[in-house]
A and B are shown apart, each in its own frame.
Chain A
């Protein structure tokens, strides 16, 4: 362990030397392949001319992947040896590509960089990029789930400010339910989304997996507390037993007061602005997720930029990552996409700086936590939600549900345990 820092410093020097020495000398030009998903893939093309002007000899070929096909495309690309140089990777996918050893470790490059630095970013987001002690990606934009709420209804129910603790939140929901003429439910926690429950679970001290990610830790006191709170909201009739697809037009329903709290993500800032009438814009607001005692943690989501190991020109690839991480470029990108920046300094400039409704995100981002960094995590989270759905339908108790999630997680992690055991056996 102690041998580590010097080696890293040495690598940093090599990295820096590579950057300083080779890249500008190139004459014939490099073509960097860059894959980005969805709206980001479309928008990022407009940022490329400036990069190409600043880096003569490097041309960027952006390929836009649809989100729904991206994961398949990346794995096929890995299997077929046709991955690009730089790619947007959802940060929950990083452990998977790290396990494939497809990602170039960035520690040395970051150590020599003046642009991409751990200290500039929100710590929780930065940590999602470190898998097994190795930095695999540079944060590009962030995502976390928090409360969108009806300010007017809350005020009417006697809550002029948003709740910050679970107890206050529960009381606020009860009060909204008790309002005269209220017909719907105070909160919307769509049953097909695992993020609300996952957020509550991350607010606990107990980790979600134990034994080095070899087993589920869902029977821990902390997770059961989160599960119990989640179940209680439904048991008291404070949230509908529905998935988001069963709700016709979510924005109309919110406007109509069918629910006053909605746990969702940053893309809805834009959607709420677009879809609610201009005159109704001051009825809604955002707030950080309430925690067991005071503002709680949130999910550290979002996307990172990764350099693939197979890239033939990693120095040029890293230049592109650095360029996209610059705070002015980040601000421009935020303005174009509505995405939130992982850099604190981008939040002190427009468009994010003056945005009151985005401020809650800024606040919560200081407290976000990564989800467990195992490739199986997404499937475990999906199973967790399926069991939780059975629980809120009254088919399982909290303890039974926790045990069932553990059972399913352990089954999904079987291969990983086998590999961990073998690795432990190989290096006694």
Chain B
């Protein structure tokens, strides 16, 4: 029993921190989302009322919430596949037997991942500038007329996706590299013997072998991309015409700009439910494949 006491002594501090600063507030968030906590309640707690699911009902009737949801899904549905495709392509290049200076290239391609999001979002705001931005300059050389990337409601989200792909592709790339390294070389040899082209080898050997990793990576990326916030906060402030307001950005505005904490908590919970759904799918699929 001595070991038992020691065990608890080792885990108790960490569990206490997680419980106090994460579990308790999470429960509280659920409770808060059933109240009308607002600035009046902030001034005086007697102004707090229990409202049941009214916050949720009002959210579902709020066009801006739907727009935020739509924008976020746009970001996920377009951004995730592009992101993963770029990651996979980069990983294949790095793992190609023909590649030179691998460690240099690996570090270079991964560098954007470790950079500070706010700082690089600031950089990209200049790269995307309509008049002085390098991107429009480069496009101009190809005969494309200047695009008002962050000022045009149709282009703001694509611009943010481009930025997010740049920032994140290195992460999944490394996971793919690790996955590629586990594919036995003789599978490729056998395919080569059969006279399969590089494309066919990719299609029939690499992709099937990589499928579990690919699935895991896509679900992780979806969960991450659903939490879009800092990019619009720094680059567009939700504009133009609310075309880049994401669910989390909406929550931040509701919570910390207008101090509608009840509504904001309800938003946070709806986001949680979405992420939970994605994760449950992930677990179910992984279990079926015997990965867990």
The answer on direct contact between A and B (beta carbons under 8 Å) is yes
Docked-complex contact B43 and A100, CB < 8 angstroms: yes
Q: From the candidates A68, A75, A101, A415, name the one contacting B259 in the complex (CB within 8 A).
A: A75
When distances are taken between beta carbons in the complex, the residues of chain B under 8 Å from A101 are 43
- Judged by a CB distance under 8 angstroms, whether B237 is at the interface is yes
Q: Which of B42, B151, B257 contacts A78 (CB 8 A)?
A: B42
Those of A370-422 within 8 Å (CB) of chain B: 375, 379, 415-416, 418-419
Contacting pair A419 B256 (CB below 8 A): no
Distance of B103 from chain A, by nearest CB (Å):
42
B102 within 8 A of A: no
* B259 and A99 contact, CB distance less than 8 A: no
A78 CA to B259 CA in the complex, in Å? 11
Q: Are B42 and A245 in contact (CB under 8 A)?
A: no
In terms of DSSP, what is the predominant structure of the interface of chain A? helix
Known pairs A76-B256, A101-B43; A418 contacts B49 (CB<8 A): yes
Interface segment, B13-21, B23-31, B32-40?
Answer: B32-40
* Complex interface bits, B238-274 against A, C-beta within 8 A gives 1, otherwise 0: 0111000000000011001111000000000000000
Quote the shortest CB–CB distance from B85 to chain A (angstroms): 33
Known A-B contacts A245-B240, A418-B49; A99 and B256 likewise in contact (beta carbons under 8 Å): no
Contacts of A100 in B (CB 8 A): 39, 42-43
A419–B40 touching, CB < 8 Å: yes
Q: How far in angstroms is the closest Cβ of chain B from A401?
A: 17
Q: What's the Cα separation between A379 and B38 when bound, in Å?
A: 14
Q: Are B40 and A99 in contact (CB under 8 A)?
A: yes
A96 touches B257 (CB 8 A): no
- Of residues 205 through 248 on chain B, the ones whose CB sits less than 8 Å from some CB of chain A are 237, 239-241
Query: Which chain B residues border A375 with CB–CB below 8 Å?
Result: 39-40
B43 to chain A minimum Cβ distance, whole angstroms, is: 5
A243–B39 CB distance below 8 A? no
Which chain B residues lie closer than 8 Å to A68 at the CB level? 237
B145, CB-defined interface residue at 8 Å: no
Chain A positions 69 through 101: 1 when the CB is less than 8 Å from some CB of chain B, otherwise 0? 001100110110000000000000000100111
- CB of B291, distance to nearest CB on chain A (Å): 43
Q: How far is the CB of A82 from chain B (nearest CB, A)?
A: 14
In the complex, A116 Cα to B46 Cα: how many Å?
36
* Neighbour of B39 across the interface among A72, A96, A192, A245, CB < 8 A: A96
Contact B259 A243 (CB under 8 A): no
CB distance from A190 to the nearest CB of B (A): 12
Q: Are B151 and A71 in contact (CB under 8 A)?
A: no
Complex Cα distance A243/B47, Å?
38
Residues of chain B within 8 A of A96, CB atoms compared: 39
The residues of A that contact B252 with a CB separation of less than 8 Å are 72
Given A75-B259, A76-B256, A245-B241, CB of A415 within 8 Å of CB of B36: yes
CB neighbours (8 Å) of B36 from chain A are 415
Of the candidates A72, A243, A415, the one whose C-beta lies within 8 Å of that of B256 is A72
Q: Give the complex CA separation of A75 and B237 in angstroms.
A: 18
A80 to B241, CA, bound (A): 32
Q: How far is the CA of A418 from the CA of B49 in the complex (A)?
A: 10
Q: Could you tell me if B39 and A75 are in contact, using CB atoms closer than 8 angstroms?
A: yes
Contact assessment for A245 and B151 in the assembled complex, using a CB-CB cutoff below 8 Å: yes
- When distances are taken between beta carbons in the complex, the residues of chain A under 8 Å from B151 are 245
- A255-288 vs B, CB cutoff 8 Å, 1 = contact: the mask equals 0000000000000000000000000000000000
Q: Which of B72-109 contact A (CB under 8 A)?
A: none
Chain B proximity of A97: nearest CB distance (Å)? 9
Minimum CB–CB distance for A80 against chain B, Å? 11
Question: Interface digits, B38-77 against A, CB 8 Å rule (1 contact, 0 not)?
Answer: 1110110001010000000000000000000000000000
Task: Tell me how far the C-beta of A90 lies from the nearest C-beta in chain B, rounded to whole angstroms.
Answer: 13
Known: A68-B237, A99-B43, A243-B241. A415 touches B38 (CB 8 A): yes
Chain A residues near B40: list those with CB within 8 A.
Answer: 99, 375, 415-416, 419
Q: Which of B49, B239, B241, B256 contacts A75 (CB 8 A)?
A: B256
Tell me, in angstroms, the Cα distance from A375 to B41 when the chains sit together: 13
B257 near A72 (CB under 8 angstroms)? yes
**Residues 233-251 of A at the B interface (beta carbon under 8 Å):** 243, 245
**A78 proximity list for chain B (CB < 8 A):** 42
What's the nearest-Cβ distance from chain A to residue B17, in Å? 21
Are the CB atoms of B257 and A79 closer together than 8 Å?
A: no
Complex Cα distance, B241 from A46, in Å, reads 36
Interface centre among B39, B40, B42, B49 (most CB of A within 10 A): B39
C-alpha gap A379/B49 in the complex (Å): 21
Residues of A within 8 A of B153 (CB): 245
Interface pair B240/A79, CB less than 8 Å apart: no
* Distance of A265 from chain B, by nearest CB (Å): 19
Task: Provide the bound-state CA to CA distance between A72 and B258, in Å.
Answer: 7
In the assembled complex, the CB of B238 is this many whole angstroms from the nearest CB of chain A, namely 9
CA–CA, A375 and B239, complex, Å:
24
Residues of B within 8 A of A416 (CB): 40
Identify the closest chain B residue to A100 (Cβ): B43
Report B140-186 residues with CB < 8 Å from chain A CB: 151, 153
Among B42, B237, B259, residue most surrounded by chain A Cβ atoms (within 10 Å): B259
- Separation of A330 and B49 alpha carbons in the complex (Å): 45
Please, how many angstroms separate the alpha-carbon atoms of A375 and B47 in the complex? 15
Q: Which residue of A lies closest to B41 (CB)?
A: A415
**Closest CB-CB distance, B21 to chain A, in whole Å?**
16
Q: Give chain B residues whose Cβ lies under 8 Å from the Cβ of A379.
A: 258
Q: B42, A79: Cβ atoms under 8 Å?
A: yes
Distance in angstroms between the alpha carbons of A414 and B93 in the assembled complex: 61
A192 CA to B239 CA in the complex, in Å? 12
Give Cα A79–Cα B237 distance, bound, in whole angstroms: 23
In the bound complex, CA of A243 to CA of B42 (Å): 35
- Bound together, the chains give a CA A243 to CA B258 distance in angstroms of 24
* Residues on the B chain within 8 Å of A243, using CB: 241
A310 to chain B, nearest CB (A): 13
Complex: A75 Cα to B239 Cα, angstroms: 22
Instruction: Say whether B241 contacts A419, CB under 8 Å.
Output: no
Chain A residue contacts of B239, Cβ below 8 A: 245
The interface residues of chain A lying within 8 Å CB-to-CB of B256 are 72, 75-76
**Complexed CA–CA distance, A379 and B43 (Å):** 19
List CB contacts (< 8 Å) of A51-80 with chain B. Answer: 68, 71-72, 75-76, 78-79
Known: A71-B258, A100-B43. 12 other contacts (CB 8 A): A72-B257, A75-B42, A75-B257, A78-B42, A79-B259, A243-B241, A245-B239, A245-B241, A375-B39, A379-B258, A415-B36, A418-B49
Contact sample, A vs B, 7 pairs, CB 8 Å cutoff: A68-B237, A72-B256, A72-B257, A79-B42, A96-B39, A192-B241, A375-B40
List the 3 shortest-distance A-B pairs measured between CB atoms, nearest first: A72-B257, A100-B43, A72-B256
